[in-house]
């Protein structure tokens, strides 16, 4: 009887020392929990989610093994973000990954002190998420897309794509945090290029048809899309309407051109999401968001869809094709 008892103790000791044993190194250890808040859906954001998970794996974190990720998707309905943000705040999380500007604004309004990392925020200072890029100073940090700096370049590329372009439509969500500031700069950039900018307000996916009817009535020769998750989550509908209207479009991310949009230019979204995982890793290992600087994009991507260009009867200048990082044929 005594031998059996000792043998049982030996087996238990080896089990505890064996890191592969479920009762071993993991026993008693608290598995970190990360909240993932996004305006889109798992389907529309699939490549970004994959990039984020790959970034975590590079630092040894695997969802379901040594970390748990709580996903909350607004499914294109931005008015759901405050409710979803509040849900995540009530969960005992170590970090919240608020992917884009609307998600960050929603989390910030909860007043939470949980560390927050973002991946694709155009103006983190202007929306009050951080005090400065170098020293965030609070519980928010991450990566910026510098989108506002890129909008004039997008207009310039669009004009180069479409000859004799004088009137440009602008799909914009007036509830977007930076709408008014960006609108003024877009109008100034259009004037400098000898073009008129015609804004068309869209607050929900159901308003897109009306916007395209308005662009046809205004005789715009092409259009540009604001960098707002509302449009990303409804990009299939936008692209279908662009085909029906035979309007060339300039987009802020390659997800649009991959799905049939004419041209896109912007920070490489998947790279931003992969790099955001590094911020999450550092915080899980004890770093404070206030001490982690907000990083700028290092990879930009110009993508041209030649198949779409041909269907629109456009001949893309060779000089522009040479600038492209990818050409879809």
pLDDT tens, residue order, the chain (329 aa): 444 444 444 434 433 333 333 333 344 468 999 999 999 999 989 999 999 999 999 999 999 999 999 999 999 888 999 999 999 999 989 999 999 989 999 999 999 999 999 999 988 998 999 999 999 999 999 999 998 889 889 999 999 998 789 999 999 999 887 788 889 889 999 999 999 999 999 999 999 999 999 999 999 999 999 988 889 889 999 999 999 999 999 999 898 999 999 999 999 999 999 999 999 999 999 999 999 999 999 999 999 999 999 999 999 999 999 999 999 99
Distance CA 72, CA 87 (A): 9
Sheet holding 263-267, edge to edge: 196-201, 167-172, 222-225, 249-251, 263-267, 300-305, 326-328
pLDDT at 78: 87
Distance CA 268, CA 253 (A): 7
pLDDT at 233: 84
199 is written with which tokens? 């804004």
pLDDT at 114: 98
pLDDT at 29: 67
- Whether the CB-CB separation of 99 and 73 falls below 8 Å is answered with no
Distance CA 22, CA 28 (A): 11
pLDDT at 287: 98
pLDDT at 148: 82
Distances (CA, A) of 56 to 26, 181, 261, 284, 288: 19, 35, 31, 11, 18
Q: Which of 66, 68, 97, 65 is nearest to 84 (CA)?
A: 97
Residue 122 is given by DSSP the state S
Distance CA 221, CA 164 (A): 9
pLDDT at 22: 33
> At CB < 8 A and 24+ separation, what contacts does 184-187 make?
185/148, 185/151, 185/152, 186/151, 186/152, 186/155, 186/224
Comma-separated ranges of CATH 3.40.50.2300 domains in the chain:
30-146+269-299, 147-267+301-328
CATH class of 147-267+301-328: alpha beta
pTM of the entire structure? 0.79
Residue 268 is given by DSSP the state -
Architecture per CATH, domain 30-146+269-299, reads as: 3-Layer(aba) Sandwich (3.40)
- Whether the CB-CB separation of 36 and 71 falls below 8 Å is answered with yes
């Amino acid at each position: 009887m005594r031998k059996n008892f000792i043998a049982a103790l030996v087996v238990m000791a080896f089990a505890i020392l064996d890191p592969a044993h479920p009762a071993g190194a993991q026993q008693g250890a608290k598995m970190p929990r990360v909240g993932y808040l996004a305006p889109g859906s798992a389907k529309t954001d699939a490549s970004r989610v994959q990039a984020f998970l790959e970034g975590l794996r590079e630092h040894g974190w695997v969802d379901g093994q040594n970390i748990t990720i709580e996903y909350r998707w607004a499914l294109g309905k931005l008015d759901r973000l405050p409710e979803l943000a509040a849900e995540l705040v009530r969960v005992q999380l170590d970090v919240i990954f608020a992917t884009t500007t609307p998600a960050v604004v929603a989390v910030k309004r909860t007043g939470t002190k949980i560390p927050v990392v973002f991946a694709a925020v155009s103006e983190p200072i202007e929306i009050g998420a951080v005090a400065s890029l170098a020293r965030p100073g609070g519980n928010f940090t991450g990566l910026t897309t510098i989108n506002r700096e890129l909008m004039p370049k997008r207009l310039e590329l669009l004009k180069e794509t479409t000859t004799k372009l004088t009137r440009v439509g602008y799909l914009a969500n007036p509830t977007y945090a930076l709408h008014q500031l960006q609108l003024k700069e877009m109008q100034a950039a259009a004037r400098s290029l000898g073009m008129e900018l015609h804004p068309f307000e869209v607050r929900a996916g159901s308003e897109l048809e009306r916007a395209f009817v308005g662009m046809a009535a205004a005789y715009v020769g092409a259009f540009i899309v604001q960098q707002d998750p509302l449009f990303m989550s409804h990009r299939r509908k936008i692209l279908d309407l662009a085909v029906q209207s035979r309007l060339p479009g300039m987009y802020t991310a390659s997800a649009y051109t991959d799905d049939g949009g004419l041209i896109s230019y912007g920070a490489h979204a998947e790279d931003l999401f992969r790099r955001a995982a590094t911020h999450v890793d550092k915080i899980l290992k004890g770093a404070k968001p206030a001490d982690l600087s907000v990083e700028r994009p290092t990879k930009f991507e110009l993508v041209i869809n030649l198949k779409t260009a041909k269907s629109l009867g456009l001949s893309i200048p060779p000089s522009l094709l040479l600038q492209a990082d990818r050409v879809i044929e």
